[in-house]
Amino acid sequence: MRRSFFVFITIALAALVSVHDVLAVSPADVKKASRAYTKGERAYRSGDMEKAAAAFQEALEIAPGFPEANLGLGHIAMSQQRFDEALDRYHKARDGYAEVGDAMLKLRQKRYNDTRNQIQGLRDQAQVLEASASNEGVARLRISQIENRIEQLSVIEPPDRGEATEPPGEIYFNIGNALFQLVRVDEAIASWEICREKSPGFAMVYNNLALAYMQTGKLDEAMTNLAKAEELGFPVNPQFKADLKARAGKG
């Protein structure tokens, strides 16, 4: 199967740092690392791989373990067919989420606690306004505004530890891409299956699974995954689809 059938993806992830770095790096440094990453992403999209790599390395120097930077370096390695290096970078990006889990949980818990405090403060303001007899029209308008703000804050839910420590499914998509290029097809399938389980609406993974299953002779699985890719709106290569149907005897 021609490599043109194979799909790569560059994904954008939330800016994260490891537990150690959250404690050791100041907020100003975190912002600086994020700016370095953004500069690298722009260079990557414009095709300047040297500038992109330098910016991603800068981000890692500021905040070691920064998953986005490792992903960026992995994408560069993939584009230059340095697949072993790409796989290593993707693994580091995946592991970064386990490292940052506790820190992100604490940050999300703080945000949740802050919203609870804000809600209580707003309710106190509303009670004071309700008790006030002066300028009732203005008071009612302000109470309405307060109630709207309380409603907005109330949708923020307490953090879930599992969500804080688990990497997104798309990380496993990238790992599978590198493994596939290293002709470690069974491992690539296993990684893509994790992606499919964690991110069932991610269309590209079904296309890649279809290709891999076709190569390993599992034609029913290949047809099922290709159909799902199309269902989710992925533009399946017509020749790939025709070749698979022919092999499956359904052409």
pLDDT tens profile 107-132? 567 778 888 888 888 888 888 887 77
End-to-end, the C-alpha distance of the chain in Å comes to 17
Residue range 127-172, pLDDT digits in tens: 888 777 556 777 778 888 888 778 777 777 776 665 556 788 899 9
Residues 12-34: pLDDT tens digits? 333 333 334 334 445 456 567 78
CA 129 to chain centre: 44
- Mean pLDDT over each residue of the chain, to the nearest integer: 82
pLDDT value at residue 162: 58
Contact yes or no for 67/93 (Cβ under 8 A): yes
- pLDDT bin (cut points 50, 70, 90) of residue 5 is very low
User: Which ranges of the chain does DSSP label H, i.e. alpha helix?
Assistant: 19-24, 27-46, 49-62, 67-79, 83-131, 136-154, 161-165, 169-181, 185-198, 203-215, 219-231, 238-247
Tokens encoding 60: 């890692």
pLDDT at residue number 16: 38
Considering 65-74, 77-86, 90-99, the range whose residues carry the highest mean pLDDT is 77-86
pTM above the 0.75 mark?
A: no
> Which whole number is the average pLDDT over 201-211?
95
Q: Span 179-191, mean pLDDT?
A: 98
Q: Where are the domains of the chain?
A: 99-163, 168-251
> pLDDT band at 202, cuts 50/70/90?
very high
- b/e string for 98-126 if b means 16 or more Cβ within 10 A? ebbbebbbeebeeeeeebeeebeebeeeb
Superfamily of domain 168-251: Tetratricopeptide repeat domain (1.25.40.10)
Are 250 and 224 in contact, with CB atoms under 8 Å apart?
A: no
State the helix-helix crossing angle for 67-79 and 169-181, rounded to 10 degrees. Answer: 30
